[in-house]
Amino acid sequence: MKLTSNGQHRAGTLSVPDDGFEALRASFLERLKGERQQLRNLGAALAQGKTSRVPVLDELRSRAHRLSGTAAIFELGGLAALARALELAVDGMAGTDRAVVPRGENSDRVMCAALEALILLIDSFGESLPESHLHGPMAAPRRARRILNG
C-alpha cells in the first residue's frame, strides 16, 4: 500500500528491489572454474611431494574454509558440505606432523578423497543438473559419495 499526498492508503504494486543475489550467485559459480584449478594444483603439489606439505595444506584448508562459507551463503548445500569435509580432513592432520605424514596414511586418504569429491562436484556444475541436486545434503555425484564413504 502506498500513501497518497493526503495520507490516505492506496493500492499499488509492491516492488522489491533487485538486490543482485542471483547475479552474485552466477558470478560465484563462474569463479568456481578457477577455484577448481587451484584445488587441482594443490592436490598435484601434494602428490608430487617436491615442496613442503605444510604451506600446501594450509592453503588447501584456507580455500576449503572460504569455499564452504561462500557456498553456504549462496545456498549450495552439497558444495558447502564437501568443502567443509575437506577442511575438516586437513584439520584432522593437524594433530600429526603434517610435514612428514607418509602418503597412504588414513588421514591422507580421507583428505585426498574429500579433495577429489569436491573437484568432481565442481566439475558437475558445468553439466545440466536439477536444482535439488545442488542443494541437498547429499548433493555430491554418486562417484564422489562412493569415494568419501569408502
Tell me the pLDDT tens digit for each residue of 52-109: 889 999 999 999 999 999 999 998 999 999 999 999 999 887 555 444 444 445 678 8
Give yes or no for residue 40 having a pLDDT over 50: yes
Region for 75 from its dihedrals, namely left if φ exceeds 0, alpha if ψ lies in -120 to 50, beta otherwise: left
Neighbouring-strand partners of residue 10: 2
Q: How much is the average pLDDT of 109-130?
A: 82
Q: What is the pLDDT of residue 128?
A: 46
Q: What is the pLDDT of residue 4?
A: 53
Give yes or no for residue 135 having a pLDDT over 70: no
Percentage of the chain beyond pLDDT 90 is 41
CA 138 – CA 86 distance, rounded (Å) = 15
